[in-house]
Amino acid sequence: MSRNRSLPRARKRLSQNFLTDVGAARLIVRSSGVTAEDLVLEIGPGDGMLTRQLLGSAGRVHAYEKDAIYADRLRRRYLGNDRIRLYHMDFRSVREPAKPFAVVANVPFAVTTDLVRWCLAARQLTSATLLTQYEFARKHSGDYGRWTKLTVTHWPTVAMELGARIGRHSFDPVPRVDTAILRLRRRPRPLLPGSALADYRRVVELGFAGVGGSLASSLRREFPTRTVRAACVAAEIALDEPVGLIDPNRWLTLYGALRTDANSHRYTNVSDTFMYQTRKGAP
Cα 119 to Cα 136: distance, rounded to the nearest angstrom: 16
* pTM listed for this prediction: 0.87
In tens, the pLDDT along 52-95 reads 999 999 999 999 999 999 999 999 999 999 999 999 999 999 99
Closest CA relative to residue 60, chosen from 92, 102, 21: 102
The string of pLDDT tens digits covering residues 224-260 is 999 999 999 999 999 999 999 999 999 999 999 998 8
CA–CA separation, 261 and 108 (whole Å): 46
Are 73 and 3 in contact by the 8 Å Cβ rule? The answer is: no
Count H helices and E strands in the chain, helices first.
Answer: 12, 9
Amino acid at 121: A
- Exposure string of 232-243, with b = 16+ CB inside 10 Å and e = fewer, is bebbebeeebeb
In the predicted model, what is the mean pLDDT of residues 206-223? 93
